[in-house]
Copies of this chain bind each other. A is one copy, B any other.
Amino acid sequence: MALAIKVNEETFTPRQQAVLTAALDLLVENGDGLTMTAVARRASCSKETLYKWFGDRDGLLTATVQWQAAKVRMPYVDRSHLSIKALRGSLEQFARDLLTTIIGEVSITLNRTAITHAAQEKDDLGNIVLENGPMAIRRRLKPILEAARDARLLRFTSSEEAYRTFFGLVVRDVQIRLLLGDKGLTQSNVESNIEADVKIATDQFLALYGAKANN
């Protein structure tokens, strides 16, 4: 399954979703635990069925990542009436969702899997994760930033730069440390600090790009 164009809303039957769940569980439990035999046994299906449905191992992997990554749903952020207070709330919401997602076991697993995949020639999974992670956030955040600029709440020349600054302020070194398995950074450890970090990041972003800021 080299193509894997995988347009949106790839509809899976409940049975297939059960298989994908099993596959994801195996991935989470142990990165290289996704063997066809293991998935078949876990999902109580035959390998023949797996190959019929997903083509080959890569197809199953792609379907799993695709299916799971698409589940990341960013909550709706009100964009209509923009006050500085509402903007701050929206930014905090984004920061919170971003952090919460990033530290989740599923996200870590998906990113690790995609990175492992990208370490070989295949960049399929990398693009899927990118598209449903950073790029999805960018698509959602940029219009808000631009609306805020139009409303004179923010000041910047490049919304791209502003978005990436926000990303950096929120994520910092958390993601790479989690991906590398930093033992000094359990997710419960990070989780308890989310609210504080969200506030700090938002404050910093507004300090840099708020209309009344010094630049």
| Chain A interface (Cβ < 8 Å from any Cβ of B) | 30-32, 109, 111-116, 118-121, 123, 126-127, 129-130, 134, 161, 164-165, 167-173, 175-177, 179-183, 200, 203-204, 207-208, 213-215
Contact = CB atoms under 8 A, between A and B. Distances in A.
B118 A116 contact: no
Contacts of A126: 179-182
Contacts of A129: 180
3 closest A-B pairs (Cβ-Cβ)? A31-B119, A118-B181, A126-B180
A181 B9 CA distance: 24
Nearest to A124: B181
Contact of A130 (B30, B119, B177, B208): B177
A208 B168 CA distance: 14
Contact of A120 (B31, B127, B200): B31
Contacts of A180: 111, 114-115, 118, 123, 126-127, 129-130
Contacts of A32: 119-120
Contacts of A208: 204, 207-208
Given A118-B112, A167-B173, A207 B200 contact: no
Contacts of A114: 180
Given A119-B113, A179-B115, A208-B204, A173 B173 contact: no
Contacts of A134: 173, 176-177
22 contacts: A30-B121, A31-B118, A32-B119, A111-B176, A111-B180, A112-B115, A112-B118, A115-B116, A123-B183, A127-B180, A127-B181, A134-B173, A165-B169, A165-B172, A165-B204, A167-B172, A168-B168, A168-B169, A168-B170, A203-B215, A204-B208, A207-B213
